């Protein structure tokens, strides 16, 4: 098994690269922002995020969710998933930097609207979800984003190669997104990441995951696995195309049907399964971490979530040497992330 601190996966350090350009859906604005940065759009000094603004180098809410799991696993090892609800509440709940009026899912309808971008982090909520989530006897808002593949990296790193890996990933995901499609896609993403951790670069990774999902005796089977296979097959059919042909940095649909992959691949519709397809396409077609992250940033939309999964997969294949030194220095929490990752590896080896 190829597993050491130098080959550990972690998508969290990659969300700060795209954080200042996160959620830009206006194509003219995207092109304007890119024109000032090319050929290195990462770590824009001043945020161009139209929804929220954080200091460059800080995490997005996606990276912070992964961080909570990484910290828990670092401190508690394989049992670190057990108290995860309380940890999420402590990190994202009342009295935290996420405790902002715009992040309150219980604010009165028709009340004052926030002036965007807000000054602080954005806690995602599932559109239309009016139910309260009770966790450890506390009310925890549903700060949910559709693409949960980015939160899986610490969990897969801890349990890669072990029969309970998929079960652990599902358990972690359903804390904040108890949605069958989300879980099915995330488990497929976990299979890809596990393969890279155990084998390193693998040109047959896509076929291997499809074979696993097609196995009637597969672990953690999901009712939507066939649908996920179809989405992965769409990626395979388009591997010869560049991302700009599939995820145009444009707000126009160009007459495409709603199910056209161009429209669903994470740029115009930044929700599952499209964002996973876009990120997977980058993982399978790009040779280096930098070019893959920069390429997905040029497509706009939910850049941080795609960059996170891309970073996890490349990190699993290349280790620390694959992350540019300048990126590490500009990630504000990087020393702590490295320390926590080392602890996870140590506890994994002890268990």
List, as residue ranges, the binding site for Mg(2+).
305
Which tokens belong to 43? 């770590």
- Under a CB-based contact definition with an 8 Å cutoff, are residues 175 and 141 in contact? no
- Sign of the Cα pseudo-torsion (59, 145, 117, 249, in order): positive
DSSP of 29-75, one letter per residue?
HHHHHHHTTTT--SS-SS---SSEE--TT---HHHHHHHHHHHHHHH
Phi, psi of 195 (to 5 degrees): -60, -40
**Which residue matches tokens 């200091």?**
55
Bin 110: left if φ > 0, else alpha if -120 < ψ < 50, else beta: left
d(CA 48, CA 56): 11
- Under a CB-based contact definition with an 8 Å cutoff, are residues 188 and 211 in contact? no
- Under a CB-based contact definition with an 8 Å cutoff, are residues 77 and 351 in contact? yes
Binding site, by residue number, is 305
In Å, how far are 20, 102, 105, 194, 332 from 108, measured between CA atoms? 30, 11, 9, 44, 36
Kindly report the CA angle at 212 between 173 and 154, in degrees rounded to 5? 35
């Amino acid at each position: 098994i190829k597993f050491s601190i130098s080959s550990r996966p972690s998508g969290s350090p990659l969300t700060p690269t795209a954080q200042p350009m996160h959620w830009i859906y206006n194509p003219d604005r995207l092109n304007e922002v890119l024109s000032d940065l090319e050929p290195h759009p990462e770590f824009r000094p001043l945020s161009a995020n139209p929804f929220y603004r954080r200091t460059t180098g800080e995490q997005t809410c996606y990276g912070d969710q992964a961080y909570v799991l990484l910290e828990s696993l670092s401190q508690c090892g394989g049992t670190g998933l057990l108290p995860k609800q309380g940890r999420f509440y402590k990190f994202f709940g009342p009295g935290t930097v996420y405790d902002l009026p715009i992040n309150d899912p219980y604010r009165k309808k028709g009340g004052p609207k926030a002036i965007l971008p807000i000054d602080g982090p954005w806690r995602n909520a599932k559109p239309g979800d009016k139910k309260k989530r009770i966790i450890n006897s506390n009310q925890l808002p549903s700060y949910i984003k559709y693409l949960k593949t980015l939160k899986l990296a610490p969990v897969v790193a801890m349990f890669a190669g072990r029969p309970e890996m998929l079960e652990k990933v599902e358990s972690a995901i359903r804390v904040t997104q108890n949605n069958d499609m989300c879980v099915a896609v995330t488990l497929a993403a976990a299979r890809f990441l596990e393969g890279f951790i155990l084998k390193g670069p693998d040109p047959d990774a896509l076929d291997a995951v499809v074979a696993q999902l097609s196995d009637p005796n597969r672990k953690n089977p999901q009712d939507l696995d066939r649908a996920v296979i179809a989405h992965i097959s769409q990626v395979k059919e388009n591997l010869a195309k560049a991302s700009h042909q599939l995820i145009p940095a444009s707000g126009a649909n160009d007459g495409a049907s709603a199910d056209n992959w161009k429209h669903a691949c994470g740029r115009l519709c930044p929700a599952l399964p499209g964002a996973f397809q876009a990120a997977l396409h980058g993982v399978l077609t790009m040779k280096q971490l930098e070019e893959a992250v920069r390429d997905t940033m040029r497509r706009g939309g939910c850049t941080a979530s795609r960059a996170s999964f891309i970073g996890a997969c490349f990190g699993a294949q290349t280790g620390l040497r694959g992350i540019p030194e300048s990126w590490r220095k500009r990630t504000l929490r990087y020393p702590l992330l490295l320390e926590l990752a080392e602890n996870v590896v140590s506890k994994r080896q002890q268990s």
